Amino acid sequence: MSEATVLERVEVAAGVLGPLAARGVPLGPMTTYRVGGAAALWVKPRSVDELHLIAEACRLGRLPVLVVGRGSNLLVADDGFAGVAVSLGELSASIEITGSQVRAGGAVALPMLARRTVASSLTGFEWAVGVPGSVGGGVRMNAGGHGSDMAANLVEIDMFDLMRGEATVLPGSALGLRFRGSDLGDHQVVLDATLTLEPGDRSRSERELDEIVRWRREHQPGGQNAGSVFVNPVPGEVTAGALIDRIGFRGHRLGTAHVSDKHANFIQADEGGSAADVRALIELVRERVAVETGHRMRSEVKLVGFEDPREHPEHPDAGVRW
Percent of the chain at pLDDT above 90? 84
pLDDT value at position 308? 59
Identify which of 97, 78, 95 has the alpha carbon closest to the alpha carbon of residue 37: 78
Task: State the Cα–Cα distance between residues 150 and 154, nearest whole angstrom.
Answer: 6
Q: Does 148 participate in catalysis according to the annotation?
A: no
Q: 3-90: what fold?
A: 3.30.43
- What mean pLDDT is predicted for residues 160-172? 94
Mean pLDDT of 52-76: 94
Strand partners, 109: 134
Domains 3-90 and 92-204 share a fold: no
300 labelled catalytic:
yes
Residue 148, pLDDT above cutoff 70: yes
The pLDDT of 5-18, averaged and rounded, is 94
pLDDT attached to residue 1? 60
CATH class of 222-304: alpha beta
When the candidates are 3.90.110.10, 3.90.1150.10, 3.30.465.10, 3.40.720.10, the CATH number that belongs to 92-204 is: 3.30.465.10
pLDDT digits (tens, 9 = 90+) for 209-244: 999 999 999 999 999 999 999 999 987 899 999 999
**231: Cα within 13 Å, side-chain hemisphere:** 22
Q: Which of 228, 260, 274, 299 is catalytic?
A: 228
- The 10s digit of each residue's pLDDT in 88-112 is 988 899 999 999 999 999 999 999 9
Within 8 A by CB and 6+ apart from 317, the residues are 186, 302, 303, 311
Could you tell me the pLDDT band of residue 147, with boundaries at 50, 70 and 90? confident
Question: What local confidence, expressed as pLDDT, does residue 319 receive?
Answer: 35
Considering the candidates 180, 216, 250, 298, report the single residue annotated as catalytic. 180
pLDDT bucket at 26, cuts 50 / 70 / 90: very high
Residues 173-218 pLDDT 10s: 999 999 888 999 888 999 999 999 999 999 999 999 999 999 999 9
Q: Of residues 309 and 251, which shows the higher confidence score?
A: 251
Is the pLDDT at 320 greater than 80? The verdict is: no
180 in active site: yes
In percent, the amount of the chain with pLDDT more than 70 equals 94
Q: In whole angstroms, what is the distance from residue 101 CA to residue 192 CA?
A: 13
DSSP string, 155-198: EEEEEEETTTTEEEEEEGGGS--BTTB-S--TTEEEEEEEEE-E
DSSP string over 234-292:
BTTTB-HHHHHHHTT-TT-EETTEEE-SS-TT-EEE-TT--HHHHHHHHHHHHHHHHHH
pLDDT in the model for residue 179: 84
**Domain assignments of the chain as residue spans, ordered by start:** 3-90, 92-204, 222-304
